[in-house]
Structure 1
Amino acid sequence: MTRMEKEKLIVVIGPTAVGKTNTSISLAKRFDGEVISGDSMQIYKKMDIGTAKITTDEMDGVPHHLIDIKNPEEPFSVAEFQKLVRKKISEIHSRGKTPLIVGGTGLYIQSVLYDYQFTETPGDEHFRAELEAELEKYGSEWLHRKLVKVDPDSAGNIHPNNTRRVIRALEIFHCTGKTMSEYQSSQTHELQYDVALIGLTMDREKLYKRINLRVDLMIEQGLLEEVKALYDGGVRNVQSVQAIGYKELYDYFDGIVSLETAIENLKQNSRRYAKRQLTWFRNKMEVAWYDMTEESLHSKNIEDISEFIAGKLQLKSNK
């Protein structure tokens, strides 16, 4: 497939709270676009506040996809994400529109952009069962430390609470003798789309303040009630509630920590996640970075980003 034959795609990535939502709406309007969520948790219904899910008002008429498509009890994999997103990209193009993937889950986005072949990924059911038994006996932190020993790179990008991915990384190492990163790098040599990959960044101190304020706002907006509804509904030991913003408050409802500690843990885990996101994007992808620290320069940034996209993809901008 030549470059000219590839479908055009805009991707906006960056850490949590950096301003991806506002930027993506501006870009979607300029390039007659539709947004595909690149967040692995916004796919879940009933999980709005904790995932910072975009509201109808914020969408401002721009169509959005892959939001609220799963119940919290259902699993969701990178392979499924890849399949759904690639289908959406083609659908959006068929309507004469420009697709924009917007989000912060690095591996999920990478799986769409490059030629990942998940059907060929090795597996060992018996080994996986052993790890799941160890998880139940010793806990998620213990299992994550096991991954740190054999694959520190992947361990740094996978939260200990994301036990499904921790187990998968250990399983790949067990089956291939390669780390997850090494195994993936052998599959990521060709871009599947004609991509303009935009990265948003920000002064670390300001970003962390924004994250802390966002958590406070989430609490004001009713995050406790949102998580309590899941908790009371018996949603436990599933992928969705291992997400940051849910796991910490489950600990509070379980009586393990005080509410004050749970909220502080939520802030700390969110800041750590933002740091991991930036590390992942900088190490794994060829990104055009734009600094969003100065709010007064937001309009100029949008102009600069639009100019980059128009040149890279040969697209006309609607100013």
Structure 2
Amino acid sequence: MKLSLSIPKQIRPFLRIQSIDSQLLPQKEKVVVVMGATGTGKSRLSIDLATHLSAEIINSDKIQVYEGLNIATNKITDEERCGVPHHLLGVADPESDFSSANFRAMASISLKSILSRRQLPIIVGGSNSFIEALVDVNFRSKYDCCFLWVDVAMPVLHSFVSDRVDKMIERGMVNEVRDFYKPNADYSRGIRRAIGVPEFDHFFRVESFCNAETRARILAEAIDSVKMNTSRLAHIQLQKIHRLRNIKGWRLHHLDATDVFRKRGGEAERAWENMVAGPGAAVVRRFLYDMDPVVCGSSMTLSGVAPPLMAATAATPF
């Protein structure tokens, strides 16, 4: 009598060849990227995530990478960081040109350092050219990325940006920039490219020769230029995000924070938790633990979703 060595049909479904093969493949490290136009609350969301997920933050803002002008460049303060380690924030010589290639090299070093401590890297900033330079084909072969896009309707954001500039002026922005001022400076290099620096050039040149009325008028014009150029920057940043999503096919998780900026006080806090921090945390948890490949592998809108909430820990963006 012949002995059959074939596998009984009833146990064949339990042979998960595909799963066994996938276990043999090297596992990619995970990276979260928080994107959005200036003023939308990217820094706040990154702190909310980092304080709950044992993470460290890599700055990808091409102006905040420079040392100095903390008010004019709107750097997150030590208090707002809530003890979360930040990388590439205020590290470059303000007179130098810090390129996309520089960012890619230094961010890669920071990523390896963060992962060696078994922490989650969160890359945050509005400079999409830096992020695009980093997240190339070689990068994606090593890392799985989860992209969070914090968005605010432009009319609402423009109003917020105007108010934010006024608060920066109250905090001493004019004197900060004046201390950095150089006649005939090159505003195409280094930190002097920052919005809020070249706009005051004319004011600093003439302020000592003008009467009070003329000086106040020129100062007001400079401040209006800062507001206008910041709003223009936000529009350009949004266009680049749309290009990354619609043309380059990046899968971005859209978090609509518009209603947050329309509210005040406790209502704004609750809206932030319900519409930004909570949904963002839910996406990241699914991404980290592979709980839902559909959610983490496709573009989706999360406004109005209310999974478990995260407490807001950083300074409010509104």
Same topology, TM > 0.5: yes
Matched, 1:208 2:158: yes
How many pairs does the alignment contain? 246
> Which shifted more, 244-253 or 308-317?
308-317
- Letter of the structure 2 residue corresponding to residue 49 of structure 1: I
Matched, 1:288 2:277: no
Q: CA distance change for structure 1 residues 250 and 5 in 2, over 3 Å: closer, same or farther?
A: farther
Matched, 1:194 2:169: no
Q: Is the 8 A contact 2:50 2:84 kept in 1?
A: yes
Matched, 1:310 2:261: no
Query: How far does the alpha carbon of each residue in 1:223-271 deviate from its partner, in whole angstroms, 9 at most, with x for none?
Result: 1111111114985443320221111112322349921111111101100
Specify the alignment match of 1:21 in structure 2.
43
> Which shifted more, 264-273 or 281-290?
281-290
d(CA) in 2 for partners of 1:95, 1:61:
16
| Largest Rg, 1 or 2 | 2
Structure 2 unaligned spans of 5+: 1-23, 208-216, 245-249, 261-269, 292-307, 311-318
- Letter of the structure 2 residue corresponding to residue 193 of structure 1: Y
Instruction: Give the drift of 1:318.
Output: 11
Specify the alignment match of 2:54 in structure 1.
32
Specify the alignment match of 2:190 in structure 1.
239
Instruction: Give the drift of 1:311.
Output: 1.2
From 111, 114, 121, the equivalent of 1:99 is 121
Instruction: Give the drift of 1:192.
Output: 4.7
Instruction: Give the drift of 1:71.
Output: 2.2
Q: Is the 8 A contact 1:73 1:235 kept in 2?
A: no
Structure 1 unaligned spans of 5+: 117-187
Specify the alignment match of 1:86 in structure 2.
108
From 224, 232, 235, the equivalent of 1:272 is 232
- Identify which of structures 1 and 2 has the higher relative contact order when contacts are C-alpha pairs closer than 8 Å and 6+ apart: 1
Instruction: Give the drift of 1:85.
Output: 0.4
Given the two structures, how large is their TM-score scaled by the length of structure 1?
Answer: 0.71
From 248, 268, 272, the equivalent of 1:298 is 272
Query: How far does the alpha carbon of each residue in 1:90-147 deviate from its partner, in whole angstroms, 9 at most, with x for none?
Result: 100000100000100001011111148xxxxxxxxxxxxxxxxxxxxxxxxxxxxxxx
Query: How far does the alpha carbon of each residue in 1:263-307 deviate from its partner, in whole angstroms, 9 at most, with x for none?
Result: 111101100110110110121132111001122321122121111
For the aligned residue pairs, the C-alpha RMSD in angstroms reads 2.5
- Letter of the structure 2 residue corresponding to residue 254 of structure 1: R
